[in-house]
Amino acid sequence: MLTIENEVREKASRAKEAARRLAYLPGEVKNKALYAMADNLVKNKNVILEANEADVQKAEGRGLTSALIDRLTLNPKRIEEMAEGLHVVASLPDPVGEVEAMWLAAKNIQVGRQRVPLGVVGIVYEARPNVTVDAAGLCLKAGNAVILRGGSEAINSNLAITAVISAAAHYAGVPEGAIQLIENTDRAAVNVMLKLNGLIDVLIPRGGAGLIQTVIQNATIPVIETGVGNCHVYVDNEANLDMAQEIIINAKCQRPGVCNAMETLLVHQEIASSFLPVMLEKLKELKVEIRGCPVTKGITPWVAEATEEDWATEYLDLILAVRVVNSMDEALNHIYKYSTGHSEAIITENYTKARRFLREVDAAAVYVNASTRFTDGYQYGFGAEIGISTQKLHARGPMGLKELTTYKYIIMGEGQVRT
């Protein structure tokens, strides 16, 4: 029986060997594999749904929140969407081998910058089994091998999905070992991955703040920080209030357990007394718990009192912090202090204010008159995403194919030597 460390190291070694071949695998073979993976998902949806039902029942027994159970749950429509995402990825241009620029340098040598895969990508994630498909598809198209380590709450779903897509990919010509799942759900497996220098080229954590900080603080291999989303929507005094209502309900309620859901609502004081009573009643009807500042409580006394901690919390649930601000400056200051740099939105009909918000807010995605829920690789036209990066080096925002590559310089000469 394999120990935890042996399992991880063995799979990482197989991935490293697969990555060598994937780096120059023809685009038509990768696309054929992606279409085969999509077909196999749909063909085996009943097997996947049965495995997912076991995970959901266990999660309900553990008392997980409804929002987290929603993230875990699959249904025929979500499986079809996963398959469609693979079709979109297949239809996108292959970044591998693209020469972005070419120029003459010293002594007329030709210097070019060419896109190449990262190598072996490790993904550590929680709850959402669709990440298994998104990560595998994007990594494959970008020429990378992938090692998946999902959360224990989704282990049956992930095992079923990985078996289905890896078999289809291998049959289509992808080297064995290109898509692998760490089956041991002990946290010790993650600790091994964090230090596999030379075998895993980059690690991408997707999940809550605790997971992400654990990875960042303990990894000795490169990490791309993703997705804690303390996202804000600011309703300006010159907003279209009907539009604002629709955006707020969508940003908070459509899928509250995801990182691009709104967690704090900021409302300009000039419209607060007329806007908040109607808005908060609608949210209350949708089972949203409201935690408000003193001014908000003065307008709608039934709301709970917000604490300092509330302004900094990513709830991932039907809970919303609400604050009335005196000006746009105060709204910007609040966002500056509490934002995690994920997604921020302003609702306004004032062009100058909209442009100022876009200019001054420092986040991966900044919106004018649209829901933060659009921060998503599929919605941006990437087919899927490997994660939403909230850092500034290498990649930022939804990470698609190009963000899963790096570059090398290619140089061509005619016998030149340096003097």
- Report whether pLDDT(367) > 90: yes
Contacts of 337 (CB under 8 A, 6+ apart): 311
- Report whether pLDDT(394) > 90: no
The confidence band for 357, taking pLDDT boundaries of 50, 70 and 90, is very high
Structure token pair of residue 363: 């986040």
Contacts of 33 (CB under 8 A, 6+ apart): 140, 168, 169, 172, 173, 174
Kindly state the percentage of the chain with pLDDT values over 70: 100
The string of pLDDT tens digits covering residues 73-117 is 999 999 999 999 999 999 999 999 999 999 999 999 999 999 999
**186, burial (CB in 10 Å: exposed 0-12, middle 13-18, buried 19+):** exposed
The confidence band for 211, taking pLDDT boundaries of 50, 70 and 90, is confident
Span 129-146, average pLDDT: 96
- Report whether pLDDT(147) > 70: yes
> What is the structure's pLDDT at 227?
73
Arithmetic mean of pLDDT over the chain: 95
> What is the structure's pLDDT at 415?
95
Residue reference for tokens 């029942």: 57
- The answer to whether residues 323 and 271 touch, using CB atoms and an 8 Å cutoff, is no
Cite the beta strand spans of 105-160 per DSSP E: 110-117, 120-125, 145-149
What single string gives the DSSP state of each residue in 309-372?
Answer: HHHT----SSEEEEEEESSHHHHHHHHHHH--SSEEEEE-S-HHHHHHHHHH--SSEEEESS-G
In a 13 Å sphere around the CA of 282, the CA atoms on its Cβ side amount to 14
How far is it, in rounded angstroms, from Cα 313 to Cα 296? 18
> What is the structure's pLDDT at 1?
57
The confidence band for 330, taking pLDDT boundaries of 50, 70 and 90, is very high
What single string gives the DSSP state of each residue in 218-234?
Answer: H-SS-B--B----EEEE
367 or 213, which is more confident = 367
pTM of the model: 0.86
How far is it, in rounded angstroms, from Cα 262 to Cα 251? 5
The confidence band for 373, taking pLDDT boundaries of 50, 70 and 90, is very high
CA 154 to chain centre: 17
> What is the structure's pLDDT at 36?
98
- Report whether pLDDT(236) > 70: yes
The string of pLDDT tens digits covering residues 1-60 is 579 999 999 999 999 999 999 999 999 999 999 999 999 999 999 999 999 999 999 999
Question: Which strand (E) or helix (H) includes residue 389?
Answer: strand 388-389
The string of pLDDT tens digits covering residues 238-280 is 999 999 999 999 999 999 988 999 999 999 999 999 999 999 9
How far is it, in rounded angstroms, from Cα 229 to Cα 315? 9
- The answer to whether residues 176 and 149 touch, using CB atoms and an 8 Å cutoff, is no
**35, burial (CB in 10 Å: exposed 0-12, middle 13-18, buried 19+):** middle
In order of start, what are the domains of the chain with their CATH numbers? Answer: 4-224+399-412 (3.40.605.10), 231-374 (3.40.309.10)
The confidence band for 381, taking pLDDT boundaries of 50, 70 and 90, is confident
- The answer to whether residues 7 and 170 touch, using CB atoms and an 8 Å cutoff, is no
Span 163-189, average pLDDT: 96
Residue 402 CB coordination number (10 Å): 15
The confidence band for 219, taking pLDDT boundaries of 50, 70 and 90, is very high
